[in-house]
């Protein structure tokens, strides 16, 4: 069995990748369409933080000894006014709990599009599974509808049918909250110190955007200080 992991370099995808390695090992990991048991795929889609996201993903893949590929998806900026894409819109400095309705960081149908591309890559690389780090906190209140169990279930069926039953979608964190993901990551030795979650393009994580605040709270809930550096203040 071979797995392709969607790797953004954040907490969730890094724990996902580590789980896949724990399950399948990393035999011949650097062969892109050969015998590698686990491979990682990142996406560049116009996100403000693409440089740091890709750098973190590369660092995590290297730590786990995984082949790592990246795909350019330049059509996303035409999808709407997500603050992740629009250079004129600032990243909000509030927690997810303070956001009502659809998150301003939501990119319309991003995960559906990226999972479709990943399915093609899985077939190209000879992978039987796609591992995706959607979790309960992103799905809560339908802030991100493309992270909900309803969405991942529908995509799993589409991927399985659409590949002649060759590829399955695995969502191992679906029912976990961020604090649970940090706890699991610590237990399995995921390289959390190499991850980055910030939505800004700053060299250091801002510590103020929704995903930074969620991350900091998750480490605090586990009685730990986040191992990555943040901007002062």
Q: What is the pLDDT of residues 74-86, one digit of tens each?
A: 776 666 678 888 8
Q: Looking at 88-92, 148-152, 168-172, 187-191, which range is the least confident one?
A: 88-92
Per-residue pLDDT band at 188 (split at 50, 70, 90): very high
* pLDDT of 71: 95
In this predicted structure, the answer to whether residue 27 has a pLDDT above a threshold of 80 is: no
Residues whose CB falls within 8 Å of the CB of residue 144, separated by 6 or more in sequence, listed in order: 103, 106, 111, 138
User: Mean pLDDT of all residues in the chain?
Assistant: 91
Q: Determine the Cα–Cα distance for residues 140 and 36; give it in Å rounded to an integer.
A: 35
Locate 116 and state its tokens: 């479709």
pLDDT for res 80: 63
pLDDT in tens, 124-161: 999 999 999 999 999 988 889 999 999 999 999 999 99
Query: Over the stretch 38-76, which tens digit does the pLDDT of each residue have?
Result: 999 999 988 988 999 999 999 999 999 999 999 998 776
Residue located via tokens 């996303």:
76
Among the listed residues 53, 16, 39, the one whose alpha carbon sits nearest the alpha carbon of residue 133: 16
Per-residue tokens: 188: 């399995």
pLDDT (tens digit per residue) in 86-118 = 888 888 887 877 777 788 888 889 999 999 999
pTM value surpassing 0.85: yes
Instruction: Report the top-level CATH class of 3-221.
Output: alpha beta
Q: How far is CA 164 from CA 118, 160, 168, in A?
A: 16, 7, 10
pLDDT at 232: 76
Say if residue 226's pLDDT is above 60. Answer: yes
Range scoring the smallest mean pLDDT among 25-34, 139-148, 166-175, 189-198: 25-34
Q: Where are the domains of the chain?
A: 3-221
**pLDDT confidence bin for 31, thresholds 50/70/90:** low
């Amino acid at each position: 069995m071979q797995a392709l992991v969607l790797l953004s370099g954040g907490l969730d995808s890094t724990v996902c990748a580590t789980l896949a390695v724990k399950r399948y090992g990393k035999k011949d990991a650097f062969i892109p369409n050969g015998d590698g048991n686990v491979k990682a795929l990142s996406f560049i889609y116009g996100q403000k933080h693409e440089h740091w996201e890709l750098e973190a993903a590369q660092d995590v893949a290297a730590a786990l000894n995984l082949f790592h590929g990246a795909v350019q998806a330049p059509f996303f900026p035409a999808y709407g006014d997500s603050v992740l894409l629009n250079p004129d819109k600032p990243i909000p400095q509030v927690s997810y709990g303070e956001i009502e309705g659809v998150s301003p960081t939501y990119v319309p149908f991003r995960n559906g599009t990226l999972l479709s591309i990943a399915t093609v890559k899985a077939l190209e690389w000879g992978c039987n599974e796609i591992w995706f780090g959607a979790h309960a906190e992103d799905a809560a209140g339908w802030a991100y509808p493309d992270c909900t169990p309803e969405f991942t279930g529908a995509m799993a069926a589409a991927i399985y049918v659409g590949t002649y039953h060759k590829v399955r979608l695995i969502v191992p964190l679906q029912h976990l909250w961020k604090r649970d993901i940090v706890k699991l990551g610590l237990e399995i030795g995921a390289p959390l110190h190499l991850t980055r979650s910030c939505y800004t393009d700053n060299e250091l994580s801002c510590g103020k955007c929704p995903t930074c605040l969620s991350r900091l709270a998750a480490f605090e809930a586990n009685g730990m200080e986040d191992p990555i550096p943040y901007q002062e203040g």
